[in-house]
């Protein structure tokens, strides 16, 4: 079946061959929009693994074709239906992946904010402790100075009768 050949050739070929096959399917659908050509183009859009893959456009094209099932042969209808379900699942997974990536990014941002807040609080606490330490050192120096003064007076007074 030429449709299956297209679907297997698209992701396996080199980029030039992929572009040629895809453009051929697109041109056929644009120039001669028969049900078969439109299905071929929709399946090309639905085929993952090459740069022309577009699941949103494929979903739209396949839905349009399946809206008039009588225009498709039974095998074409089955293939279109299976590909539509696969494309819909891929779109759901892509949306979920995007949501999870955004959520992870948001969580990372929240964690970073919490860490920064904690770091700021700890920096403030360190500054407060440094200030308290300097005040304690100054008091200790003052007490030491007073003790020396008292000791110096006591020793000077003992020598002089």
27-80 pLDDT per residue, tens? 999 999 999 999 999 999 998 877 788 999 999 999 999 999 999 999 999 999
> Number of structural domains, the chain?
1
Confidence of residue 152 (pLDDT cuts 50, 70, 90): confident
- Does residue 102 belong to any structural domain of this protein? no
Cα–Cα dist 21/82, whole Å: 22
**In 3-state terms, what secondary structure has residue 67?**
coil
Q: Hey, how many other C-beta atoms are within 10 angstroms of the C-beta on 59?
A: 19
Q: Is the pLDDT of residue 122 over 60?
A: yes
Task: Confirm whether pTM is higher than 0.75.
Answer: no
Q: Which long-range contacts (CB under 8 A, 24 or more apart) does 78-82 make?
A: 79/3, 79/4, 79/39, 79/43, 80/39, 80/42, 80/43
Which CB contacts under 8 angstroms, 24+ apart, belong to 19-25? 19/51, 19/52, 22/50, 22/52
For residue 115, the model assigns a pLDDT of: 85
Q: What is the pLDDT of residue 111?
A: 81
Residue 92 lies in a domain: yes
Assess contact for 25 and 6: CB atoms under 8 A.
Answer: yes
Percent of the chain at pLDDT > 70 equals 96
- Six-digit token string for 102: 């955004």
Predicted confidence at residue 96, as pLDDT, reads: 94
In a domain, 40, yes or no: yes
Judge whether 19 lies within some domain.
yes
- Report if residue 143 sits inside a domain: no
More confident residue, 85 or 110: 85
Residue 139 lies in a domain: no
Task: Determine, yes or no, domain membership for 106.
Answer: no
What is the DSSP code (8-state) at residue 1?
A: -
Q: What is the mean pLDDT of residues 111-134?
A: 85
Mean pLDDT rounded to a whole number for the chain = 87
Report how far residue 54's alpha carbon sits from residue 43's, in angstroms, rounded to the nearest whole number.
Answer: 10
Q: Which residue range(s) make up the domain with 81?
A: 2-97
Asked if the structure places residue 127 within a domain, the reply is no
């Amino acid at each position: 079946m030429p449709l299956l050949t297209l679907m297997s050739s698209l992701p396996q070929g080199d980029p030039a061959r992929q572009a040629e096959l895809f453009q051929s399917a697109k041109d056929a659908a644009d120039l001669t929009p028969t049900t078969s050509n439109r299905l071929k183009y929709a399946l090309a859009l639905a085929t993952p693994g090459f740069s022309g893959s577009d699941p949103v456009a494929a979903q739209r094209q396949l839905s349009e074709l399946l809206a008039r099932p009588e225009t498709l042969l039974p095998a074409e209808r089955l293939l279109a239906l299976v590909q539509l379900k696969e494309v819909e699942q891929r779109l759901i997974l892509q949306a979920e992946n995007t949501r999870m990536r955004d959520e992870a990014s948001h969580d990372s941002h929240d964690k970073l904010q919490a860490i920064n807040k904690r770091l700021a609080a700890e920096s403030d606490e360190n500054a407060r402790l440094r200030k308290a330490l300097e005040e304690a050192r100054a008091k200790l120096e003052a007490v030491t100075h007073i003790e020396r003064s008292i000791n110096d007076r006591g020793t000077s007074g003992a020598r002089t009768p």
